[in-house]
A and B are shown apart, each in its own frame.
Chain A
Amino acid sequence: MRVEHADVVVVGGGAAGLSAALAALERFAAAGRDDAVVALVSKVYPMRSHTVAAEGGAAGVLPPALGGDADDSLEQHVADTLAGGAGLAHEDAVRFVVERAPHELARLERLGMPWSRTAEGLPAVRRFGGMSRPRTWFAADKTGFHLLHTLFQTALRHDVARADAGTGTGGGVRRYDEHVVLDLLHDPGHRVAGVVAHDQHRGEPLAVLAPAVVLATGGAARAWATSTNAGIVTGDGLAMALRAGLPLRDMEMVQVHPTCLPGSGILLTEAARGEGGVLLDADGRRYLADYGLGPETPLGAPEPRRMELGPRDKISQAFWQADRDGRTLPTPDGGAVLLDLRHLGRDVLSERLPLVVGLAKRFAGIDPAQEPVPVRPAAHYTMGGVVTDPRGAVLDADSAPVPGLYAAGECASTGLHGANRLGSNSLVETLVVGRAAGEDAASHTLVSGPAHGTPGSGSGTTVATEQARALADRWLSMRGRGSEPPAVIRRELGRVLDADVGIYRDADGLAQAQAAVEDLSARYADVRVADTAAAFNTDWLQALELGAMLDVARAVVAGARARTESRGAHQRLDHPGTDDVARHTLATAAPGGGVQVRLEPVTASGGAR
């Protein structure tokens, strides 16, 4: 077993992982440790990470002196976020992100992010659903793409070659691209000791040991068949946390995005509505007013929190009801409503929404300047995740911090989003929490000393290496075995989640979903991995990803069954009311297999700490 050492391991090369890696380096540099190595382990090249697909923007209050709305304030950003969170957001986590958001967005500007600008040369902000003021910074409608490339290119500047591995010469970011992390490693004291990964290039496992690990593996919404998420968004880190005995919080809270292309699930950003786009039913009527989102706003004058700028969950719910009322257009992929952008005109469309125009033309064959675009909802964002404090320190089932383990970005549940994420709050979360987690991970390494992280430090390393070997053997033994193709199980899982764990849920549907997911998990034990190649074995990789999605689906369904109320993104037809006491669901691996869920009242600071 190849063993390499680092000062911090970051799992994931999206915005959260890159932010964490860069912040860890800064912290090390400030402590005079210019030789520190941050291992950045990612199953895809970092610039392919799913952050690249984010379109609309990132929220942060812009001070009036930089052209912001004089009426806006941090307090209002906090209030909007708490309102969206419907009782499950934690004020401390919300404040933490909101207060730091403008600074992170400005820092990114200083790293070269091509933010869209006002005529005066200051960052431009746009309206976004659920935000009471325009405070969403954007780079046309390719915000995530530019953000990811800005961070990745900055990380390239601090790149250290693999040749330096463990020799303690130059410090920096050491990339492990196309390395799939299989599991977390622990030392005998149950402290985090690193990760075991599979090097897809060389076709061999390796252990990357470090005193601190940051999980930044993203969400899990690819498990749904109709999804805006990229193929890699399979909840691997969430499944790893479950296997490590850690709880996942509020996993039933899955945001469904209302405006996606039928079939492919390709997302047309909410910014299309922020810029004035409207939603029409099959008869060309603005139906949202009929489903509680009115009164209707005039065309071309969008107003915060009303009609097309209402919260995402409400707009997706209105779609469900309009569909039931026979007001949608039939398509081969289910009913659709129309996103009408024609009145914006070609100039605004090409300046502010070039990607939307390109996607509609390319993938739906429609020019939005001339015709409205059929859209329908798709699974989009994982609000729940690994339980952390506001700075990304991972908490165990007793709300005690797990020494050395951090999580940031979509895989973490810090308490920011609660029951419903406001669009454009998540990119900024990746930056703020990614930074805090990276800094604290570095601090952890600095105070815990070289300890078990360095070569020749004895028993810790040996135990972790043994553990890594055993885990790698287990995962690798899936190759060349089994009878049922992963594709069959994957499709069935997607269908079940779409059908019964979507916009509205009820006891019967959830019971069916649970039975189906259990059945699929049992069948997964005999999943067929036909490809036995060592390197670039994507058949095996997809089987691993399917395993993670099944584990996550179990937690989602169990959480949804336990939550017998309607709140935020979780709407129960059989329990339309909202409980007086807001409670979190906490899913953990059950001793006999599967997951168990417990409910826990929300406290002001979120945890029992």
Chain B
Amino acid sequence: MSENPADGAPTVRVTVTRQEPGQEPRDETFEVPYTDRTSVLDALDWIKDHVDPSLTFRWSCRMAVCGSCGVMVNGRPVLGCETFVSGYRTSGITVGPLAHAEVQRDLVVDTDGFLDRLRSLSPWLVPGGEAATQSAPAAGSSPQGADADADADAGADAVADAGSVQGADAHVGGAPAAPVGVPALDLLAVHSQTPGEVDAYRGFAQCIDCMLCYAACPVLDAVPGFVGPAAIATARRWDTDSRDGGDALRMAAMAENEEGIWPCAQIGACTRACPKGVDPARAIRDAQRIAMGG
């Protein structure tokens, strides 16, 4: 929603592939003024504000972190908010909805299908990982070290439980009546995890659910039900987290399913399309290797 390019500014030709529910797609072309800071999203906004208010697209953060604004620009999946039109001043731009997803209206595509696939791989912390836990000892007892280690094993399950919504929790009273006290700081429990252990999953944890990798993936042409790059990358994000114990569960969901990890032929289009450097191709390769016992 940043301000419009000034009047008299140069313009770029923007063709948008539009579609109403149940109708055929059609292309419409607009001349949009731009500066070197005008993004594809700004251009769409300009059209909506100045020419056709019914143009429909998603956006929110404008800073490439919310994952709303994925579109195809000249056939390539990109985030509209971080793609600048000045690079296309001679060629012109064609903006279309992300490939491999049902169009809901204009540039808005189905997201539920993606979230269902993501959910099918249990993308949350499953208790039982190997990371030890540390809790703060009560005031007056010895500082971090002996106590915490002694507690670690017993603590692991309790902690995992407390983290789960179903688990008992010092914070929540059983009765519906309100105020409950605050547990002392010495009840604070966290897993221990070194920076190196964080690095092991950090890359996969960068996924913003933008679905660009799905749009890029040629496998989805042949196997539309393929669980797909981002879902597998997120599954691997948890598998490679030292606090998580859900590997077997997720591997079963990915490997014992024809539309799980096997359709991938390691083309790498997902990794090239990803705006966050997630490398889903590596996640799938790792999962295939593990499933084959390697």
> Which A residues have a C-beta under 8 Å from some C-beta of B?
22-23, 25-27, 29-31, 44-45, 47-50, 52-53, 61, 63-67, 74, 99-100, 102-103, 106-107, 109-112, 114, 116-123, 142, 145-146, 149, 153-154, 156-159, 177, 201, 222, 225, 230-232, 263-266, 355, 358-359, 362-363, 391, 435, 439-440, 442-443, 446-447, 485-487, 490-491, 528-531, 533, 535-539
Tell me which residues across on chain B come within 8 A of A156, comparing CB atoms: 115, 118-119, 123-124
Bound-complex Cα distance A25 to B165 (A)? 7
Of A222, A232, A485, the residue contacting B53 (CB under 8 A) is A485
B272 interfacial contact with A, CB 8 Å = no
Bound-complex Cα distance A48 to B176 (A)? 32
Within 8 A of A (CB), among B63-108: 63-68, 82, 104-106, 108
Q: Tell me if A48 and B144 are in contact (CB < 8 A).
A: no
Within 8 A of A (CB), among B2-50: 2-3, 20-21, 37, 48-50
With CB as the reference atom, state the residue of chain B lying closest to A144: B65
Q: Tell me if A112 and B20 are in contact (CB < 8 A).
A: no
> Which B residues have a C-beta under 8 Å from some C-beta of A?
1-3, 20-21, 37, 48-50, 53-54, 56-68, 82, 104-106, 108, 111-112, 115, 118-119, 122-125, 134-137, 143-144, 147-148, 159-160, 162-163, 165-166, 169-179, 182-183, 185-195, 197-198, 201-202, 205-206, 208-209, 234, 238, 241, 243-244
Give the Cβ gap from B158 to chain A, nearest Cβ, in Å.
10
With CB as the reference atom, state the residue of chain A lying closest to B192: A121
Q: Tell me if A44 and B60 are in contact (CB < 8 A).
A: yes
Tell me which residues across on chain A come within 8 A of B111, comparing CB atoms: 45, 177
With CB as the reference atom, state the residue of chain A lying closest to B35: A332
Q: Tell me if B2 and A263 are in contact (CB < 8 A).
A: yes
Give the Cβ gap from A180 to chain B, nearest Cβ, in Å.
14
Q: Tell me if A53 and B136 are in contact (CB < 8 A).
A: no
Given contacts A112-B125, A154-B124, A487-B49, contact A536 B185 (CB under 8 A): no
Of B66, B119, B186, B201, the residue contacting A48 (CB under 8 A) is B66
Q: Tell me if A110 and B54 are in contact (CB < 8 A).
A: no
Bound-complex Cα distance A230 to B159 (A)? 35
Q: Tell me if B176 and A27 are in contact (CB < 8 A).
A: yes
Q: Tell me if A446 and B176 are in contact (CB < 8 A).
A: yes
Tell me which residues across on chain A come within 8 A of B66, comparing CB atoms: 44, 47-50, 52-53, 230
Tell me which residues across on chain A come within 8 A of B201, comparing CB atoms: 114
With CB as the reference atom, state the residue of chain B lying closest to A532: B54
Tell me which residues across on chain B come within 8 A of A157, comparing CB atoms: 122, 124, 165
Give the Cβ gap from A173 to chain B, nearest Cβ, in Å.
9
Tell me which residues across on chain A come within 8 A of B137, comparing CB atoms: 65
Q: Tell me if A447 and B165 are in contact (CB < 8 A).
A: no
For the complex of A and B, the 10 pairs showing the least CB-CB separation, nearest first, are A110-B163, A112-B125, A487-B49, A121-B192, A65-B136, A531-B54, A446-B176, A63-B136, A536-B105, A539-B53
Bound-complex Cα distance A447 to B178 (A)? 11
With CB as the reference atom, state the residue of chain A lying closest to B59: A231
Given contacts A230-B66, A443-B177, A485-B49, contact A264 B2 (CB under 8 A): yes
Bound-complex Cα distance A440 to B177 (A)? 8
Q: Tell me if B241 and A112 are in contact (CB < 8 A).
A: yes
Q: Tell me if A122 and B190 are in contact (CB < 8 A).
A: yes
With CB as the reference atom, state the residue of chain A lying closest to B238: A112
Q: Tell me if A530 and B68 are in contact (CB < 8 A).
A: no
6 contacts between A and B (CB under 8 A): A49-B66, A107-B163, A121-B197, A146-B205, A231-B60, A263-B37
| Most chain A beta carbons < 10 A, residue from B61, B62, B172 | B61
Tell me which residues across on chain A come within 8 A of B197, comparing CB atoms: 117, 121
Q: Tell me if A107 and B182 are in contact (CB < 8 A).
A: no
Tell me which residues across on chain A come within 8 A of B134, comparing CB atoms: 65-66, 121-122
Apart from A44-B58, A539-B48, list 11 A-B contacts with CB within 8 A: A48-B60, A63-B188, A64-B136, A64-B144, A66-B135, A103-B188, A142-B65, A154-B165, A265-B2, A447-B176, A533-B54
Of A45, A53, A491, the residue contacting B65 (CB under 8 A) is A53
Q: Tell me if A64 and B143 are in contact (CB < 8 A).
A: yes
Bound-complex Cα distance A49 to B209 (A)? 13
Bound-complex Cα distance A305 to B137 (A)? 31
Of A109, A363, A539, the residue contacting B82 (CB under 8 A) is A363
Bound-complex Cα distance A30 to B174 (A)? 5
Q: Tell me if B205 and A539 are in contact (CB < 8 A).
A: no
Tell me which residues across on chain B come within 8 A of A117, comparing CB atoms: 193-195, 197-198
Bound-complex Cα distance A443 to B3 (A)? 47
| Most chain A beta carbons < 10 A, residue from B105, B187, B197, B234 | B105
Give the Cβ gap from B65 to chain A, nearest Cβ, in Å.
5
Bound-complex Cα distance A153 to B250 (A)? 14
Tell me which residues across on chain A come within 8 A of B174, comparing CB atoms: 30-31
Tell me which residues across on chain A come within 8 A of B57, comparing CB atoms: 538
Q: Tell me if B48 and A535 are in contact (CB < 8 A).
A: no
With CB as the reference atom, state the residue of chain B lying closest to A228: B63
Given contacts A26-B169, A157-B122, contact A440 B178 (CB under 8 A): yes
With CB as the reference atom, state the residue of chain B lying closest to A233: B60
Bound-complex Cα distance A157 to B123 (A)? 8
Give the Cβ gap from B115 to chain A, nearest Cβ, in Å.
7
Q: Tell me if B68 and A112 are in contact (CB < 8 A).
A: no
Q: Tell me if B124 and A112 are in contact (CB < 8 A).
A: yes
Q: Tell me if A47 and B209 are in contact (CB < 8 A).
A: yes
Give the Cβ gap from B26 to chain A, nearest Cβ, in Å.
15
Give the Cβ gap from A231 to chain B, nearest Cβ, in Å.
5
Q: Tell me if A110 and B122 are in contact (CB < 8 A).
A: no
Bound-complex Cα distance A511 to B207 (A)? 47
Tell me which residues across on chain A come within 8 A of B186, comparing CB atoms: 63, 65
Give the Cβ gap from A201 to chain B, nearest Cβ, in Å.
7
Bound-complex Cα distance A514 to B212 (A)? 45
Of B60, B63, B160, the residue contacting A110 (CB under 8 A) is B160
Give the Cβ gap from A227 to chain B, nearest Cβ, in Å.
9
Give the Cβ gap from A271 to chain B, nearest Cβ, in Å.
15
Q: Tell me if A538 and B56 are in contact (CB < 8 A).
A: yes
Give the Cβ gap from B6 to chain A, nearest Cβ, in Å.
9
Given contacts A122-B134, A487-B49, contact A159 B119 (CB under 8 A): yes
Bound-complex Cα distance A539 to B45 (A)? 11
Bound-complex Cα distance A154 to B184 (A)? 25
Bound-complex Cα distance A47 to B61 (A)? 11
Of B61, B169, B202, the residue contacting A50 (CB under 8 A) is B61
Tell me which residues across on chain B come within 8 A of A263, comparing CB atoms: 2-3, 37
Q: Tell me if A230 and B60 are in contact (CB < 8 A).
A: yes
Tell me which residues across on chain B come within 8 A of A533, comparing CB atoms: 20, 54, 105
Given contacts A391-B178, A539-B54, contact A103 B183 (CB under 8 A): yes
Q: Tell me if A48 and B67 are in contact (CB < 8 A).
A: yes
Bound-complex Cα distance A97 to B143 (A)? 26
Bound-complex Cα distance A69 to B119 (A)? 39
Give the Cβ gap from B108 to chain A, nearest Cβ, in Å.
5
Bound-complex Cα distance A156 to B115 (A)? 9
Give the Cβ gap from B166 to chain A, nearest Cβ, in Å.
6
Q: Tell me if A61 and B105 are in contact (CB < 8 A).
A: no
Tell me which residues across on chain B come within 8 A of A447, comparing CB atoms: 176
Q: Tell me if A61 and B185 are in contact (CB < 8 A).
A: yes
Bound-complex Cα distance A362 to B58 (A)? 20
Tell me which residues across on chain A come within 8 A of B58, comparing CB atoms: 44, 48
Bound-complex Cα distance A112 to B239 (A)? 12
Bound-complex Cα distance A362 to B39 (A)? 11
Give the Cβ gap from A442 to chain B, nearest Cβ, in Å.
7
Q: Tell me if A110 and B165 are in contact (CB < 8 A).
A: no
Give the Cβ gap from A93 to chain B, nearest Cβ, in Å.
14
Tell me which residues across on chain B come within 8 A of A146, comparing CB atoms: 205
Q: Tell me if A442 and B176 are in contact (CB < 8 A).
A: yes
Q: Tell me if B53 and A530 are in contact (CB < 8 A).
A: yes
Q: Tell me if B244 and A112 are in contact (CB < 8 A).
A: yes
Q: Tell me if A66 and B125 are in contact (CB < 8 A).
A: no
Given contacts A47-B67, A47-B209, A114-B205, contact A29 B136 (CB under 8 A): no
Tell me which residues across on chain B come within 8 A of A142, comparing CB atoms: 65, 206
